[in-house]
Amino acid sequence: MNTRTPCLDYGRTLLRLCLKKIIKQKPAFIIAICILSVTDLFSQVGISTTSITPNSSSILELRSTTLGFLPPRMTTTERDAISSPATGLVIYNISTNLLNFYNGSSWQISGGGTGVSSVSVTTANGVSGTVANATTTPAITLTLGAITPTSVAASGTVSGSNLSGTNTGDQTTVTGNAGSATLIGIADDNATNATMYPTWVTTNSGNQAQKTSSTKLSFNPSTGTLTSIAFVGNLTGNASTVTTNANLTGDVTSVGNATTIGTNKVTNAMSAQMAANTIKGNNTGSTANASDLTVTQLKAMLGIYTNVVTVDVPNSTTTAAKITELDETLAAGTYTFKYLIRYQSAAATTGVKFSVNHSGTVTAFVANVRWVDVSAVASTAAADQDEILSTGAVVGAFAARAKSTTGWGTTLSVDAANSDMLMIIEGLVVVTVSGDLQLYHGSEVAAATTVKTGSTVIITKVN
């Protein structure tokens, strides 16, 4: 043993004698006594089996490579019985097998943390338990008691793989495997002829007793009869009997199940309003509810077709060309047609020619072309839109019994250049294979003649 600072010779001699004579008999006990005997004699102490100089920061340093330091060993109860433990006091806890030290206010586990000194279970929400060993790894047994509406949140869910017992109160969804479920207070009403009365869900917990009477609503499962003092809204499905409090009177009358709408009781004002320029009807070709028809749909139902020229169509050749805007597709059937043609010629000496064609197959076709002639006596093929015919005078005309794409004849002139003229073509056609009814227009000579906007065709299907 060495000391870092000078000490009294008496202390050194005493310590050497103690160590040499009795260390072999009770080493730990004798060493402790020796240390206690010289505490007043040394400022620093080092204990070692070899020469040692204590660390400058220590009052006592123990050094060994074969032996350890053995602090006092005691149970938790014995530790807690120490009166006024000093801050820094160290013991080995044999209850927890951990080194403990006192930090001035409580016992701590060496190395940090407070450890587990006491474990308990507080009963809450139907769960209780017991602790077999209050250690760092306590054996805790939990017991699940009755689950009541107050022990589960209103929006909570109880789930499990082995639920058993009796479910009471309001249940929305139960998930998991139920060991047993007891149905309480609900009878199999469908097995009897007894009339059922609705039991409405209330906020009361527990089972709701089945109602045995009602003056408002009842239902008989065996007959399917639903009885009520009044129904509001639409009733759908099959109704064999509808019982009301009284028969209907007024525009709509009823006696029992028979309901009648009085003659002339449904007026236009009672009908639903329609869109502008529409007519109620059914244009589907089969049975269907009425719908609003446009003018175009109505014309199609009646077999009336009209087309009009919206852009001037000039032709400066003798080859007739089709006026596309006046085309109309006609299926098999018999039709009458009438063209009202507004046209002009660039020169008074230049006439025009027209003809009508059908691109499909027809079995009959007849047409007349007419205009006012410049002559008051006989037709001269000179159109005059400013002529007043004398009594007995004729109108200029062509007639045809065959459709044509080249023109049926040619007028020789007009009474005024670049002035409106009127040509009328009327006819009848019997169509066997669908095709387009077409108007063709050409000039007398290679000079401009023009079919003007507003020229119109009206076609009527006869059958």
DSSP string, 212-248: ---SSEEEETTTTEEEES---S---S--S----SS--
Query: Could you tell me if 14 and 79 lie in one domain?
Result: no
Q: What is the pLDDT of residue 44?
A: 82
DSSP state of 189: G
Same domain, 80 and 56: no
Q: How far apart are CA 436 and CA 442, in angstroms?
A: 19
Question: What was the pLDDT predicted at 16?
Answer: 59
312 lies in the same domain as 391: yes
Name the amino acid, one letter, at 5: T
Is the residue at 252 inside a domain? no
The reply to whether 52 and 92 lie within a common domain is no
Asked if residue 93 and residue 16 are part of one domain, the reply reads no
Residues 411 and 350 in one domain: yes
pLDDT of the residue at 208: 62
How many Cβ atoms sit within 10 Å of the Cβ of residue 161? 9
Q: Which of 165-179, 242-256, 290-304, 410-424 has the highest mean pLDDT?
A: 410-424
Burial class (CB in 10 A: 0-12, 13-18, 19+), 50: exposed
The pLDDT score that the predictor gives to residue 415 is 92
Chosen domain end from 52, 81, 109:
109
Residue 390 falls within a domain, yes or no? yes
CA dihedral of residues 15, 17, 20, 26 (deg, nearest 10): -70
Per-residue buried b or exposed e for 260-287, using 16+ beta carbons within 10 Å of the residue's own CB: eeeeeeeeeeeeeeeeeeeeeeeeeeee
Mean pLDDT on 394-407: 92
User: In this structure, are 397 and 440 located in the same domain?
Assistant: yes
Q: What is the CATH number of the domain that holds 311?
A: 2.60.120.760
Predicted pLDDT at 55:
86
**Last residue of one domain, picked from the residues 109, 132, 164:** 109
**CA distance linking residue 113 with residue 363, whole number of Å:** 113
pLDDT, average across residues 321-338: 97
Measured distance CA(100)–CA(197) in Å, rounded: 74
Q: Can you tell me the distance from the alpha carbon of 310 to that of 446, in angstroms, rounded to the nearest whole number?
A: 24
Instruction: Write the pLDDT tens digit of every residue in 98-141.
Output: 999 999 999 998 865 555 556 777 777 667 777 776 555 677 77
Residue 120 in domain: no
Residue 202 lies in a domain: no
Same domain, yes or no: 356 and 375: yes
By three-state DSSP, how is residue 19 classified?
helix
Neighbours of 381 (CB within 10 A): 18
Are 413 and 342 within one domain? Answer: yes
> Is it the case that residue 184 has pLDDT exceeding 70?
no
**Do residues 77 and 22 both lie within one domain?**
no
Average pLDDT of the residues in 174-195: 54
pLDDT of residue 6: 43
- Look at residue 57 and tell me if it is in a domain: yes
Distances (CA, A) of 387 to 352, 395, 401, 416, 455: 18, 11, 29, 12, 21
More confident position, 55 or 213: 55
Residue 296 lies in a domain: no
Within a domain: residue 174? no
Question: Average pLDDT, stretch 198-224?
Answer: 68
Please indicate, yes or no, if residue 251 is contained in any of the structural domains: no
How far apart, in whole angstroms, are the C-alpha atoms of residue 182 and residue 98? Answer: 53
Q: Which of 348, 320, 326 is nearest to 407 (CA)?
A: 320
Number of compact structural domains in the chain: 3
Statement to judge: residues 53 and 104 lie in one domain: no
Parent domain of 412: 303-461
Q: Are residues 15 and 77 in the same domain?
A: no
